[in-house]
Structure 1
Amino acid sequence: MVKRILSYLLPIKIYQRKSSISKKLEVTWNKGQLVLDSENTNYSYGSLERILRKGLLYIGFDRIKKFENVLVLGVAGGSVIKTLTQEVKFKGKITGVEIDETAVEIAKKFFELDQIPNLNLVVDDAFEFVLKTKEKYDLIIIDVFQDTKMPNFLFEDFFINRVNFLLQVNGFILFNTMVLSFTDKKRNATYKTKFNDNYSVRLYPKVETHNELFTIKKLA
């Protein structure tokens, strides 16, 4: 409790682990809240929680509450899952996919992700998972990073088409991207053109300074 109070003055690191995927992961008290960070960016809670919460608000909490099946690609500490279950009050099935086993262990130990009854947590590569799954989803949240880098496959036609196939009609994709350069901005502009008239695509720039959010609704 003392560390939590002191964290309003300055961040207090309480745990650190090396990771083969993310190099280094840290759990820190920051402004009274436990957050998970990689070496150079926030992975869960903190600013990332605010970013994805805004995305869910853009889609609409009441609409999401009526969904049956949600897929989260890139779980880390699980802040968006906490938002779904605690704020949105989503009672349907959540499948969380995270490649970093160390992040999953931290998520269970410090953020009690294993206490969420409607969550199925899967340690797997996001690309591999979308190839294998036979389910369809009402909401697909894509939040896949390795520190500040986004894997190239997220922006390639094969992955985009596969995710679109897994999405139910009237379902949504919420895609969190990081924009640190003109190249990243150009990449996002190209990504937006990948969707035809069967989709309604909205881009929300400068969410928490360096992030751009896409919401993509499947119309037919």
Structure 2
Amino acid sequence: MLKKLFSYLLPITIYKSKSTISKSIEITWTNGELVMDSKNTNYSYGSLQRILRIGLLKIGFSTIQAMDKALVLGVAGGSVIKTLINEIEFKGKIKGIDIDSRIIDVANTYFQLNSLPNVDIQIQDAFEYVLRCTEKYDLIIIDVFEDTEMPNFLFESFFIHPLAALLNPKGFILFNTMLLKKSDEERNKNFMTHFDLKQYKINAIPRIEMHNELILIQKLH
């Protein structure tokens, strides 16, 4: 508890390791809160949890409560899963996909991710999972990063179209992106053009915590 108290004065790192995917994983007490970071950005809890919560609020907590199945691509420490269960009181099933087995081990140790009810975490590549998946979801959250970099496949039609096919009518995709340069803004605009406005409603929430943009997509019918 002393580390937690002292963290209001200065961040205190209690764990640090390397990962082939995420390069660096750190667990730190910051302002009385335990967070997971990569070398250059927050991975779970802290600012990331606040950012994704804004998107979930935009969908509406009561709307999410009525859903049956959610898919999280990019789990890291599992902060958005805890928001769904503990704050929103989502009672449905959650499938989590993350390529980094090391980061899931750390999440289980420091954030008890493996103790959450109705949560199935699988170590898989998000792209491969989407291509092979036959399930349908009411909510899909995409938060796939390698430190501050986003894999190119997230913005390509060969991923976007199979992803959209996984969504139930009136379901939502919540996509967390990072804008670090001008070309990232154009990349996001191009991503949104892949969705037919007769079938989808699209809303972008720009410059959250300076560098993040949330893209919210609802399937209409």
1:115 and 2:115 equivalent? Answer: yes
User: Offset at 1:194?
Assistant: 1.2
Task: Report what 1:129 is aligned to.
Answer: 129
Task: Report what 2:29 is aligned to.
Answer: 29
Task: Report what 1:218 is aligned to.
Answer: 219
Task: Report what 2:102 is aligned to.
Answer: 102
- Alpha-carbon distance in 2 for matches of 1:123, 1:36: 18
Q: What secondary structure does 1:84 align onto?
A: helix
Task: Report what 1:146 is aligned to.
Answer: 146
- Alpha-carbon distance in 2 for matches of 1:15, 1:204: 33
Aligned residues: 220
- Alpha-carbon distance in 1 for matches of 2:31, 2:146: 25
Q: With structure 1 as the length reference, what TM-score do the two structures score?
A: 0.99
User: Offset at 1:133?
Assistant: 1.7
User: Offset at 1:132?
Assistant: 1.8
- Alpha-carbon distance in 2 for matches of 1:95, 1:62: 20
Deviations along 1:140-195, whole A, 9 cap, x unmatched? Answer: 00000000000000000011000100000000000000000000011111111111
Task: Report what 1:73 is aligned to.
Answer: 73
Q: What secondary structure does 2:201 align onto?
A: strand
User: Offset at 1:134?
Assistant: 1.4
Sequence identity percentage:
57
Task: Report what 1:203 is aligned to.
Answer: 204
Deviations along 1:82-128, whole A, 9 cap, x unmatched? Answer: 00000000010000001111110011000000011110010111001
1:55 and 2:55 equivalent? Answer: yes
- Alpha-carbon distance in 1 for matches of 2:178, 2:80: 17
Q: What secondary structure does 2:76 align onto?
A: coil
Q: What secondary structure does 2:131 align onto?
A: helix
Deviations along 1:34-93, whole A, 9 cap, x unmatched? Answer: 000000000000100000011100000000000000000000000000000000000100
- Alpha-carbon distance in 2 for matches of 1:152, 1:7: 36
Task: Report what 2:168 is aligned to.
Answer: 168
Q: With structure 2 as the length reference, what TM-score do the two structures score?
A: 0.99
Q: CA RMSD in A?
A: 0.5
Letter in 2 for 1:158: F
Letter in 2 for 1:173: I
Q: How do 1:3-42 residues align onto structure 2 when only pairs under 5 Å count? A: 3-42=3-42
- Alpha-carbon distance in 2 for matches of 1:31, 1:187: 34
Letter in 1 for 2:182: F
Unpaired segments of 5 or more residues in structure 1?
A: none
